[in-house]
Structure 1
Amino acid sequence: MFSYHEQLTLRLAAGLGEVDEATRTRHSRFLLGKQQPDGGFAGREGASDLYYTSFGLRSLAILGELHGSVAEHAAEFLTTRLAGHESVVDFMSLIYSAKLLETAAGIDIFTDASADWRRSVADTLNALRRDDGGYAKGPEGMASSTYHTFLVLLCLQLIQQPIQQPESMVTFLLSQESDEGGFREIRASKRAGTNPTAAAIGALRILDSLTEEIIDGTLDFLVDMQNDEGGLRANTRIPIADVLSTFTGMLTLTDLEALDEIDQNDALTYVRSLEQDNGGFFGAAWDEVADVEYTFYGLGSLALLHVPSHFTLD
C-alpha cells in the first residue's frame, strides 16, 4: 500500500514523463546545479537545510534524476541531521527525503539508527497534539494548525506508526471549514485559504472522512481561486496568483476528480509564464529569482496538467 506521498511522487513522475524532453532536461540541469557541496540544497540565501533539500530531492525524483552520486551526496547531508531536534516541517522533510532515497536509489540512511527510532519520532510528533485533536506548529504553540496536522499525519504514515484517536483529528479538521467553503489554517483565521484547504482535504482523504457536502464546498471555493492570470490565488484577499497555490489547488481538484472544473489551458499558460529559460520557476509574477521550492511546484503543476488519463497505481 503506497503512502500519500509515494502516490503523489508516482503520479507526478508519470505526468512529467508526458512533458517534452527539452523542458525536463532544462529543469534537471537547474536542479543538479543547485546541490550544495555538502550534498544538501539551500533556499535563496543561507546554508543547506532539510526543507529545501526535500524540495530538491522531490523535484529530481519526479524527473527521474535521483540516483548515483547525486543521491549518495544527498544521503551524506541527511545523515548529518539525524541527531538534530527538528520542527514538524523539518521532520517531515527528513523522513520524506530518506524515503525518496530508499525508493529511488536504494539508500537507507537509517541503517545504523536505533531500533525504536520510528517510535521516538512518533512520540515527538504526538507531543504537539492539542485538546482539539489537531497539532500545533511547535512545542510552545497553543493553536492547532491545519497544515501541521496534515504534515504529522503524512509523517506518521511514512514511518508506519499508528494515528492516535483519528476521530478527534477529523473533528478538528472539520472545525476548520469555512461557511463559504474551503478551510482555514488556524481557528482564528477570518477566511479560508487554498493551501490549508489542500491540507485539510488531503488529511480527510487519508482518514476516509470526506463527504459530498465537503467536496461541493471545496470545489466552489477552489474554482473561485483561479483568476485572470490562469493560476490560483492563496485566498480571496490576494489578487495575484502564485505557483504554490496553483499546484496545491490543482492537486486537490485532481484528488477530487474535478480538475476540469477550472480552465486547464489557462492554468498551463500561467505555469509556463513562470518558467525560466535556464531552468527553474518563479513563484509568481512579482518574483525575480527561481529556487528549488517553487521549481518543484512548477514541475508539479506541469505534471498534473499532463498526467495520462489511463494512469493508475493498481
Structure 2
Amino acid sequence: MTNSYLLQLVLSVAQGLEPEVELRERQAKWLKAQQQDDGGFAGRDGPSDLYYSAFALRSLAVLGELQGEVADQAANFLSSRLHGNASVIDLISLVLSAKQLDMSAGIDPLASAGDDWQANVLGLLEQLRTADGGYAKTIEGAAASTYQSFLALLVYQLLEETPPEPASLRDFLLSQQREDGGFVEIRVMKRSGVNPTAAAIGGLKLLEAVFLEKGATLPALSLDISNNAAEFLLEMQNEEGGVPANTRIPIADLLSTFTAMQSLHTLGRLDEFDQAAARKFAQSVEQPTGGFLAAAWDQIADVEYTFYGLGVLGLCGQS
C-alpha cells in the first residue's frame, strides 16, 4: 500500500506541517481532547461517529500523533463497529480509519473482522453501481455520484482489490466534466463544483493505477482534461484567499480550499495557486486553543474542518 492515494495525501500534508511545531502541538492537544470515552470521535453533537472519527484519525496522522493510547482506543472503537448495522458512508469511513491506523500505528482493526467481512463490504458497494458505470450514494439512488464513485475507488485500492468494469467507471467520471473544465456531482447538473471536480480528479488518478496494472498505455486523465480542470480550480480562488464551493457561493470554505489545492497538487499546478493567501485564509479560521471553523460565518470548530485546515496549511509550499 506504499503508493496508496490515502498514504500519499497524508505524507504530503505531514511534510508541509513538519516545521509548524506550535501549530502541531496545539492542534494535536485539541484533537486528543475530542476523543470520546469509547475511543471514537463525534461531530458537533451526538455520540461517537465513524464518519467524524475518520477525519480525526487522519488529522492525528498528519500531525504524527496517531500512536499510543489514542490509537489503541480508536482501534477498540472501530473493532466494536465491525458487525453492527452501518450506512454505506459509515462502512467506507470504517475502512479508511482502519487502514489509516494500520499505516500510522501498525494496528489493524480489520484483523478480527472475519474472512467474509471484506467481501460483504465490496458486495454492498456493488449494490450502489448504476447503469452508467458510477456509484450512487444509496442503494435506492438512481443517479450516480462523482464523490461516491471516488470513495468506492478509494476503498477498492485500500482493500487491494480491483474494481469491476473500470473502463465504464472512467467513462462515467469523464462524462461529468463541463465546458468550464470543472465537474458536476450528478449528471443532470450544469454548474461545476470544486468538490466534485476534486473527486473526479482523484477518481481518475486511482483508475490510472488500475489501468497501468492491466498494461494500458492511454492515461485515464488526459492532458486536456487535466489542464481544463486545473484552470477551473485556479479561477475559483477568491479575495479571501480561499475557494468557495461553486460560482454561486461568494464565501470561501476550508473544504473547497483544501480539495482544490489537493487536486492542483495532484495535477502539478499548485505553484500557480496563491498559497500565501490560502495560508492567511486558513489561519483566519483557526481557533486559538485548537480546531478550525468551516468558514468566516462559522462559530464552532469540529474535527472534519480541522483536517481540512491542516490540509491547507500542509499543502502550502508543496508545489
Q: CA deviation at 1:186?
A: 0.3
TM-score (normalizing by structure 1): 0.95
Aligned partners of 2:5 and 2:206 also within 8 Å: yes
- Taking every aligned residue pair, what percent have the same amino acid on both sides? 54
> CA offsets per residue over residues 189-233 of structure 1, 9 Å max, x none?
221100000000011112121111111211221111100000011
- The answer as to 2:214 corresponding to 1:203 is no
Q: CA deviation at 1:45?
A: 0.6
Aligned partners of 1:75 and 1:109 also within 8 Å: yes
1: CA distance between counterparts of 2:95 and 2:257?
25
User: Partner of 1:31 in structure 2?
Assistant: 31
Instruction: Please tell me the residue identity of whatever aligns with 1:62.
Output: V
SS of match in other structure, 2:27: helix
- The answer as to 2:119 corresponding to 1:119 is yes
Aligned partners of 1:55 and 1:293 also within 8 Å: yes
2: CA distance between counterparts of 1:86 and 1:12?
30
Instruction: Please tell me the residue identity of whatever aligns with 1:57.
Output: L
Q: CA deviation at 1:7?
A: 1.2
Q: CA deviation at 1:274?
A: 0.9
> CA offsets per residue over residues 169-201 of structure 1, 9 Å max, x none?
011001111112100000122211000000000
- Report the count of equivalent residues: 307
SS of match in other structure, 1:277: coil
User: Partner of 2:108 in structure 1?
Assistant: 108
2: CA distance between counterparts of 1:162 and 1:215?
24
Alignment RMSD: 1.1
Give 5+ residue unaligned stretches, structure 2. 209-219
Instruction: Please tell me the residue identity of whatever aligns with 2:250.
Output: P
- The answer as to 2:223 corresponding to 1:212 is yes
User: Partner of 1:59 in structure 2?
Assistant: 59
1: CA distance between counterparts of 2:278 and 2:69?
36
Aligned partners of 2:79 and 2:112 also within 8 Å: no
Aligned partners of 1:122 and 1:161 also within 8 Å: no
Instruction: Please tell me the residue identity of whatever aligns with 1:295.
Output: T
Instruction: Please tell me the residue identity of whatever aligns with 2:16.
Output: G
User: Partner of 1:85 in structure 2?
Assistant: 85
User: Partner of 2:192 in structure 1?
Assistant: 192
2: CA distance between counterparts of 1:99 and 1:152?
15
SS of match in other structure, 2:200: helix
Structure 1 segment 1-314 matched on structure 2, within 5 A: 1-18=2-19, 20-208=20-208, 209-307=220-318
2: CA distance between counterparts of 1:187 and 1:278?
42
2: CA distance between counterparts of 1:84 and 1:239?
41
Q: CA deviation at 1:38?
A: 0.9
2: CA distance between counterparts of 1:2 and 1:86?
29
Aligned partners of 1:182 and 1:221 also within 8 Å: yes
Instruction: Please tell me the residue identity of whatever aligns with 2:256.
Output: S
Q: CA deviation at 1:257?
A: 0.7
Instruction: Please tell me the residue identity of whatever aligns with 1:289.
Output: I
The more displaced of 83-92 and 263-272 is 83-92
1: CA distance between counterparts of 2:125 and 2:71?
27
> CA offsets per residue over residues 106-145 of structure 1, 9 Å max, x none?
2121222222322221111111101100000011111000
2: CA distance between counterparts of 1:137 and 1:57?
23
The more displaced of 83-92 and 209-218 is 83-92
2: CA distance between counterparts of 1:9 and 1:75?
19
TM-score (normalizing by structure 2): 0.94
Instruction: Please tell me the residue identity of whatever aligns with 1:265.
Output: A
1: CA distance between counterparts of 2:275 and 2:46?
36
1: CA distance between counterparts of 2:258 and 2:53?
19
The more displaced of 287-296 and 120-129 is 120-129
Aligned partners of 1:118 and 1:161 also within 8 Å: no
1: CA distance between counterparts of 2:88 and 2:173?
18
SS of match in other structure, 2:53: helix
1: CA distance between counterparts of 2:170 and 2:97?
27
Give 5+ residue unaligned stretches, structure 1. 310-314
